[in-house]
Structure 1
């Protein structure tokens, strides 16, 4: 006999303002339990000490998690100069010190090199897999891991405050895969010292912002009032960067059954041109019918093929 799944089949996104006292997985599990949800996932890991935006997907929204993770992000962090840690944040052990403290002018000058596409080596304590194991697990076991540099996109890196000579505040706008801890580490080295992050807060992930976020305490109150679903954003919320194509109910039904939709008639030319003109991430588009999302689709020749069907 099949094992009965527990929980309510909810569908949509909840934006959590994660506390800095738990991991992203722990926070997701807590929210799933509070919402009594059947299925959940999260759209982009936050460091344990970090607070801020953690998008949590329920039900069919879990099929769109990758698009949330790939979204534009903004962060705010405080860096302490003069001490490097093995985790590149305050959770780690101090491994190097320096008496050098940069001026505001030196920081501003160094920031010029951290714009656009840059090469970045992830922190030793990260979720990147090395031969099938997480880098942070290997680091905790004392194993030195050589992580390959990767290209990330920095759209903005701004000095926003200087509380004292030892600390500086920054705001960052960036693309996917960017590590704030690596930015802080590398910026400190660029100004002739060492440093680590003491405070980290994520302000946005794609369309998810603090304006529509709730804390665990607020969620607990809303659940107690019996209205948790009013917090949910649509399943398609992170898909705003994808081109959309409208289908008839009959065409939508074909996609739902895993079948392709032929777009070879003259009446389809405008839809095809709009789809090709929009480009789309990796050739993927969102199929809609009567305003409701049906599936993530790919254009193959003159036919739309379902990549992920959204059962809503």
Structure 2
């Protein structure tokens, strides 16, 4: 019987909030961070198109278990729409499919924003990761197929026109999971009768992480010049945010070392004290400031679903 293969890399865990540069893919960014930190495991919480810049939360090690909680968080984007052309990809990368000489005024733009605020129905772009009969829409689009993508419900919490001139308009949007900003630009242009596409897109917030958490890729790459590996890795690790920060939207319980040991063995613990939560479908437990487990609370107990070694 062969021995299980030992994972390559360090068992480093935590979140690195990358300020992804323009023209750099999300998968490429994750691979670069994993290589820089010599991590065993890495993943991201929400793809950013290569032509988009800004926040790409990257989970390392045990933090990959908390990716769904960040994926579900609110997001804020700043984006620029260029009027006069609709494109296959709804951004600069695609070919022009419709054009118009009409240009909207700021007043005309502001007048339609209410139609895109709240819970709305949105049709994702042809070039998107939506699956159609088991295939990605962007794969079908690259083969020249035009597919019917059903609309879906998305939540737009806030939509603001920041500035506009004759040919462009700049917006900020705060939205929920699954919203396509490129689709907003497409639909704005169609409703205004002038067509439009995204010409700049930057993500500035993915709950619970903010702009102050972002680290430019150039700052991380610059540390490659440190010849001593231990010193270099320590400098890189200093940018990591604790895994538990991804769970700030859930109830938290603080436990002692004995309780932490029980949870890590997969056993429930009894919650005592009048301030202990009575029930919760999901909560997280910490000991000495470190994440121990995600679980449920009921019947005076915390029952672990996922455990973390700390």
Say yes or no: TM over 0.5: yes
Q: Against the structure 1 CA distance between its residues 230 and 290, is the aligned structure 2 distance closer, same or farther, given a 3 Å change threshold? A: closer
- The match for 1:119 among 116, 121, 134 is 121
C-alpha contact 2:244 2:290 (8 A) present in aligned 1: no
State the Cα deviation string for residues 235-289 of structure 1 (Å, max 9, x = none).
11211111111223222222111122244xxx3553133xx4xx6xxx2111122
Moved over 4 A (4+): none
5+ long unaligned stretches in structure 2: 227-231
Match of 2:253 in 1: 245
Match of 1:41 in 2: 43
* Deviation of the 1:302 alpha carbon: 4.3
- The match for 1:91 among 87, 90, 93 is 93
* Deviation of the 1:204 alpha carbon: 1.1
Instruction: Report whether the alignment pairs 1:173 with 2:174.
Output: yes
Which stretch shows the higher mean deviation, 53-62 or 3-12? Answer: 3-12
* Deviation of the 1:31 alpha carbon: 1.4
C-alpha contact 1:35 1:223 (8 A) present in aligned 2: no
Match of 1:22 in 2: 24
**TM-score, normalisation: structure 2:** 0.92
Instruction: Report whether the alignment pairs 1:202 with 2:200.
Output: no
Q: How many pairs does the alignment contain?
A: 301
- The match for 1:77 among 54, 76, 79 is 79
Three-state SS of the structure 2 residue aligned to 1:270 is: coil
* Deviation of the 1:129 alpha carbon: 2.1
- The match for 2:295 among 291, 294, 297 is 297
* Deviation of the 1:154 alpha carbon: 1.0
C-alpha contact 1:86 1:124 (8 A) present in aligned 2: yes
5+ long unaligned stretches in structure 1: none
Instruction: Report whether the alignment pairs 1:258 with 2:263.
Output: no
Match of 2:284 in 1: 286
CA distance in 2, matches of 1:222, 1:57: 20
CA distance in 2, matches of 1:129, 1:149: 13
**TM-score, normalisation: structure 1:** 0.91
Three-state SS of the structure 2 residue aligned to 1:109 is: helix
CA distance in 2, matches of 1:176, 1:218: 29
